[in-house]
Amino acid sequence: MSMTDIRVNPTTRMDAAQMIESEPEERYTQQIIRRFRKNRLAVAGLVVIILLILTGLFAPWLTPHNPNELTAVFSASPSTTHLLGTDQVGRDVLSRLIYATRISLIVGFITVSIYVTIGTILGLISAYYGGWMDMIVMRLADIFMSFPYLMVILVVVSILGSSLTTIILVLALFSWPTVARLVRGSVLSLKELDYVKAGVALGLSPARIMFSHILPNALGPIIVNATFGVAAAILSEAGLSFLGMGIQPPTPSWGNMLSDAQSLTVLTNQLWLWVPAGSILLVTVLAINFMGDGLRDALDPKQ
């Protein structure tokens, strides 16, 4: 290609610019949707997640019994009245499983939205301003990441007292660094691109450059990370509740339902008390991970 080919005259350049401008916004979204739909496992994951959300929303209409109602039969094996049997104090296991969906989804989605917001803002600031700001934010991230995740969360939640709010806040407090590092990384490379420099030259405010020019281009990895984060948060809550430091009974959570199986009698003879709760937890996490994987391929075709 010769030099003359590259030097286009101003009018054609305008046309090109207009063409890019007029490329409808949804073309890009449509592309992503098309690529996502090709991944059958990811679509299946999405369907499962939607079903779970609906289950959580309509729990009162779906449950055969009140989840906290004590019936006369303790540890009854599955029957027509109690499809998945009853637990050690006579509550219907199926109804508790259905209600527990709410806890898992609330913890998963709210925790992630909190820490992704914090992590994104800190990552943006850190990368955009650099220097001291960057040093402080990144060292803070190092400090928080040095504590083994589950261990420190367990200790903090046990000290503060375990309620749904504490669990969410503590999980978020120790999860933002990954997002901050991720955002910082992509902003550092985006910052060097011409369109950002053009923005600076035009005198746009740093906030406008960061949020409306840099952030949209760094969104892909953030969304993927957030999706996997939902699965991780759900697993962490279940782990905490399993150890007796998370959601406290009578509120049902998949983790605290599995906690009963630490007794060998339950483990051996009352499979309905722990196998369904563990399986639904596995399916939920698997569905979210499949979806995250599909999103990664759809948002970043290079990989």
Residues making contact with another protein (CB under 8 A)? 139-140, 142-152, 154-156, 158-161, 231, 235, 238-239, 242-243, 245, 255, 258, 261-262, 264, 267-268, 271, 274, 278-279, 281-282, 285-286, 289-290, 293, 303
The smaller minimum CB distance to another protein, of residues 212 and 262, is found at 262
**C-alpha torsion sign, points 217, 105, 84, 89:** positive
The smaller minimum CB distance to another protein, of residues 94 and 280, is found at 280
Provide the 8-state DSSP code for 86.
B
**Residues ≥6 apart with Cβ < 8 Å to 187:** 123, 124, 127, 128, 210, 214, 218
The smaller minimum CB distance to another protein, of residues 1 and 264, is found at 264
The smaller minimum CB distance to another protein, of residues 98 and 153, is found at 153
Peptide bond into 250 cis (omega under 30): yes
CB of 257 to another protein, least distance (A): 11
Alpha-carbon distance 231 to 223, whole Å?
A: 13
CB of 128 to another protein, least distance (A): 17
The smaller minimum CB distance to another protein, of residues 209 and 235, is found at 235
CB of 283 to another protein, least distance (A): 8
**C-alpha torsion sign, points 101, 109, 25, 297:** negative
CB of 303 to another protein, least distance (A): 8
CA-based nearest residue to 173, from 144, 147, 203: 144
